[in-house]
């Protein structure tokens, strides 16, 4: 072993992990936190405990949380998710990590369903957290869940069901699951695909579940690229009725591409519309070979079988999100993180927040200054009666010049406006992945 290898990009600057788990109360705020906000903003990310990891996606999960209530930022906490992988200090590519369903990195997403908060990573079981971000333990739904649990489940705003799936490098490659509104696993169906592919996310409509079987395949014997692009695999989208089974799936061929994240999907007449962040390929040469993603619209005509594909904008983006109240329903707006004009390819290191208006085709931005870097922004409605963009978009923004992070709250209906509030976090928050607003109304007690 030598120590001469250069530090990889994902362990430098604001990608580098933080060491301390802090608890801080009554945080300083610039501006005014909307009084309608009562709940937790939570965000997960990769924060390797050992200080090192083989890939940006492989570090131990650390959840950063800010509690907002009564116009105040009541506290900030950051906590590791104490999984089997964390406690044993396992590497992500250790066979024990790969094959022990409890050895999650738990680093990808954090969200609430049925009064519980889960930290998620797509290769393992969920870990439940308390509202103070302590780890309660692993969740296998009374032993009924025997596959991994995606980090991108979809909570139906109409039924309260949580639709999700598990994928794997070994059979069964893909299984579709549904939790009912009370968190009980009520549906599991194996879906036939040619191989295991890295299926990071999926979609629902009011009537369907939609799987993306795209050409990023497993090659676990290859230490440089254990997951890689395959020119021969093809690309297909599987659409089945909600609560359906393998026999119900209709597969539609699309041009080979990769989609980490869709924006949303919905039904319009006989057509399933999918707005997705499409990359021309992913991980062709190595797992560092990220290609930018651009908003595209796929249409699948269920009556004729016709497939359409159109690019919707010219600006690459990451972390596309809609209002949680329109997941699976027709959306007008979306929010994402994008590079500053002229900047190189986006990873976690974005420059601006973009807002799409899919009705007018307009795209607008919120700019936090030349050395500021926003992550994913999450929409929160101002009230139950508020329209689709009537509320707030919030997320962490890292300021390079001062090496500090704020939780920034934007008026989601006023692109280009100054933040309505900045909550000053007592340490920098490393660039991470996904998060959620967990409203007080969805947590017990
Ligand atoms: Fe993701």
Query: Where in the sequence is the domain holding 196, given as residue range(s)?
Result: 154-312
Q: Quick: pLDDT tens for 297-318.
A: 999 999 999 999 999 999 899 9
Q: Quick: pLDDT tens for 193-232.
A: 999 999 999 999 999 999 999 999 998 888 777 899 999 9
Identify the CA nearest to 167 among candidates 110, 121, 230: 121
How far does residue 383's CA lie from ligand 1's centre (Å)?
27
Identify the CA nearest to 205 among candidates 299, 306, 320, 114: 299
Identify the CA nearest to 38 among candidates 296, 266, 397, 380: 380
β pairing state of 72-80 and 23-25 = antiparallel
How far does residue 71's CA lie from ligand 1's centre (Å)?
30
Q: Determine the Cα–Cα distance for residues 234 and 252; give it in Å rounded to an integer.
A: 11
Q: Does 14 map to a domain?
A: no
Q: Does 286 map to a domain?
A: yes
Q: Does 74 map to a domain?
A: no
For residue 348, name the pLDDT band (cuts at 50, 70, 90): low
Mean pLDDT, all residues of the chain: 95
**At residue 4, does pLDDT exceed 80?**
no
Structure tokens at 401: 């010049």
Q: Quick: pLDDT tens for 20-55.
A: 999 999 999 999 999 999 999 999 999 999 988 888
How far does residue 152's CA lie from ligand 1's centre (Å)?
7
Measured on CA atoms in the order 326, 330, 335, 339, is the torsion positive or negative?
positive
**At residue 343, does pLDDT exceed 90?**
no
Q: Quick: pLDDT tens for 137-149.
A: 999 999 999 999 9
Q: Determine the Cα–Cα distance for residues 173 and 156; give it in Å rounded to an integer.
A: 24
Q: Does 206 map to a domain?
A: yes
For residue 136, name the pLDDT band (cuts at 50, 70, 90): very high
In this prediction the pTM is 0.96
Check residue 142 and give left, alpha or beta (phi > 0: left; psi -120 to 50: alpha).
Answer: left
Q: Does 266 map to a domain?
A: yes
How far does residue 420's CA lie from ligand 1's centre (Å)?
27
How far does residue 62's CA lie from ligand 1's centre (Å)?
15
Q: Quick: pLDDT tens for 422-435.
A: 999 999 999 999 99
- Mean pLDDT across the stretch 377-396? 97
Q: CA gyration radius for the chain?
A: 20
Q: Does 169 map to a domain?
A: yes
How far does residue 2's CA lie from ligand 1's centre (Å)?
33
How far does residue 240's CA lie from ligand 1's centre (Å)?
22
How far does residue 304's CA lie from ligand 1's centre (Å)?
32
pLDDT of 285 reads: 83
How many independent structural domains does the chain possess?
A: 1
How far does residue 168's CA lie from ligand 1's centre (Å)?
16
How far does residue 297's CA lie from ligand 1's centre (Å)?
19
Residues 6+ apart with CB under 8 A from 201: 150, 152, 212, 259, 260, 261, 262
How far does residue 288's CA lie from ligand 1's centre (Å)?
16
β pairing state of 435-439 and 352-357 = unpaired
Q: Give the residue carrying structure tokens 């699976």.
A: 328
How far does residue 108's CA lie from ligand 1's centre (Å)?
6
Q: Quick: pLDDT tens for 221-268.
A: 887 778 999 999 999 999 999 999 999 999 999 999 999 999 999 999
**At residue 273, does pLDDT exceed 90?**
yes
Structure tokens at 255: 């041009």
Q: How far is CA 133 from CA 102, 113, 119, 397, in A?
A: 18, 15, 10, 21
Respond yes or no on whether the N-terminal peptide bond of residue 230 is cis (omega within 30° of 0). Answer: no
How far does residue 386's CA lie from ligand 1's centre (Å)?
27
**At residue 1, does pLDDT exceed 70?**
no
Q: Does 210 map to a domain?
A: yes
**At residue 191, does pLDDT exceed 80?**
yes
> CA-based diameter of the chain, in Å?
61
Q: Does 76 map to a domain?
A: no
Enter the DSSP assignment of 317: B
99 φ, ψ (degrees, to nearest 5):
-105, -10
């Amino acid at each position: 072993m030598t120590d001469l290898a250069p530090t990889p990009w994902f362990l430098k600057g604001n990608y580098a992990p933080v060491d301390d788990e802090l608890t801080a109360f009554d945080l300083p705020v610039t501006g005014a936190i909307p009084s309608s906000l009562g709940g937790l903003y939570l965000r997960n990310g990769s924060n390797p405990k050992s200080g090192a990891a083989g890939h940006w996606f492989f570090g131990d999960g650390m959840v950063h949380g800010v509690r907002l209530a009564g116009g105040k930022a009541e506290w900030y906490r950051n906590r590791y998710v104490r999984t089997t992988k964390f406690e044993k200090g396992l590497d992500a590519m250790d066979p024990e990590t790969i094959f022990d369903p409890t050895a999650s990195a738990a680093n990808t997403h954090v969200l609430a369903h049925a009064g519980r908060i889960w930290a998620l990573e797509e290769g393992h079981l969920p870990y439940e957290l308390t509202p103070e971000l302590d780890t309660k333990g692993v969740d296998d739904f009374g032993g009924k869940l025997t596959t991994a649990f995606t980090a991108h489940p979809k909570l139906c705003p109409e039924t309260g069901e949580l639709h999700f799936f598990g994928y794997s490098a070994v059979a069964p490659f893909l299984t579709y699951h549904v939790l009912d509104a009370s968190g009980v696993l009520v549906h599991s169906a194996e879906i036939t695909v040619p191989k295991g592919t890295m299926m990071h996310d999926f979609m629902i409509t009011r009537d369907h579940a939609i799987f993306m079987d795209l050409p990023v395949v497993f090659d676990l014997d290859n230490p440089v690229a254990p997951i890689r692009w395959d020119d021969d695999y093809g690309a297909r989208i599987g659409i089945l009725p909600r609560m359906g089974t393998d026999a119900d799936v209709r597969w539609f061929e699309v041009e080979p591409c990769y989609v980490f994240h869709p924006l949303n999907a919905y039904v319009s007449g006989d057509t399933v519309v999918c707005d997705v962040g499409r990359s021309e390929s992913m991980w062709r040469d190595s797992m560092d070979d990220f290609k930018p993603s651009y908003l595209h619209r796929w249409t699948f005509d269920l009556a004729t079988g016709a497939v359409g594909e159109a690019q919707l904008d010219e600006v690459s983006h990451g972390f596309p999100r809609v209002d949680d109240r329109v997941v699976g329903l027709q959306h007008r707006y979306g929010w994402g993180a994008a590079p500053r004009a002229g900047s190189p390819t986006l990873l976690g290191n974005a420059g601006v927040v973009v807002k799409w208006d899919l009705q007018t085709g307009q795209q607008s931005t919120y700019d936090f200054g030349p050395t500021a870097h926003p992550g994913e922004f999450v929409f929160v409605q101002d009230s139950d009666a508020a329209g689709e963009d009537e509320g707030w978009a919030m997320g962490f923004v890292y300021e390079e010049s001062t090496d500090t992070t704020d939780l920034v709250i934007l008026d989601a209906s006023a692109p280009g406006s100054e933040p309505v509030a900045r909550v000053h976090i007592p340490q920098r928050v490393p660039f991470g992945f996904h998060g959620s607003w967990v409203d007080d109304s969805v947590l017990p007690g």
